[in-house]
Amino acid sequence: MAQRIFTLTIYLFRSLLYSLPGLLYILATLVLWRVLFDPTQGTPELSYYTLVIGLFGAGVTFLVTLSVAGRAYRAANYPLLARLPSRVEHLTAVLGASLLFAVLLQLLLALLALFRGPSLATVQALEIPPLWLAVDILAAVLALHASDLVTTGWSRVFLYSLLALFLFGRSLEGGPTSWAAQRAMAAAGWFLGHNLLGFSDLFMGIGRWLSSAGNSVVDQLFGLPFWPFEAMTDAIRSGAFTSAQALAPAILLLYAAVLFILAADLFASKDLFLTE
């Protein structure tokens, strides 16, 4: 099984590398190096170096995975799919090829950025790549769910709608509890204006309860999925990880593992309509 996955991974990697999209990804990396890490400017801080390249890695991994998944879903690959004992091997190869290509681009940018860039100690050079890799793996798995290769019915709509819901709740000023309290108070005022005292008292009580809750379980629930990103960002800016922040990359890998299992289940049971 490992040999089949390795062979298919190299095949998909080479198919992207020697294609126009692969060339465009490489050129885009060089352009971004010139824009984000201009050698004629001052030496960037280590936190800037780590965060910018990490963000670049997540973005390019997402796009590369979509490209590789699109190639893997072509009808020309039907003989490969038919001969594999399990479709999961095909999906694993797509993930592996995407990560291999994207991580090489990220390392290319990281090495170029060291030219007149920050100086890295040996310990820092060993600590930073695992942080990038954890984010890259999660981005790749999310991209699989966005591709036609894995999507079944409305699966990607449900997943990304859930993410959008958490982002919306997170972005509300004062948190979702504060926003809901304001809406409840406004509803109470509307009912009071229409002499519906029972409903007015009900919504008034709800609004007061939400206001007194403050940083409640609801606020924490909306922020929970994004805690690993915040923890890693804060640790990179401060220059050191606390014992809790050190768990953030592992939590991202846990997210990725759960989503990959879901993707494998969707791909293994779906009806394939391969593209030409």
Map out the domains of the chain as residue ranges. 2-150+242-269, 154-240
Average pLDDT over residues 210-217: 58
pLDDT of amino acid 215: 47
Backbone angles phi, psi at 275, to 5 degrees: -90, 155
pLDDT tens digits, one per residue of 124-150: 677 788 888 999 999 999 998 888 888
d(Cα 178, Cα 212) in Å, to the nearest integer?
9
Average pLDDT over residues 103-130: 80
- CB of 3 closer than 8 Å to CB of 90: no
Q: If we measure between CA atoms, which residue out of 161, 138, 125 comes closest to residue 258?
A: 138
DSSP helix/strand/coil, 15: helix
pLDDT of amino acid 210: 65
Confidence grade of residue 243 (pLDDT, cut at 50, 70, 90): confident
Q: What is the pTM of this model?
A: 0.81
All residues at 6 or more sequence positions from 196 whose CB lies less than 8 Å from its CB, including other chains: none
- CB of 129 closer than 8 Å to CB of 188: no
Taking CB atoms within 8 Å and a gap of at least 24, the contacts of 186-193 are: none
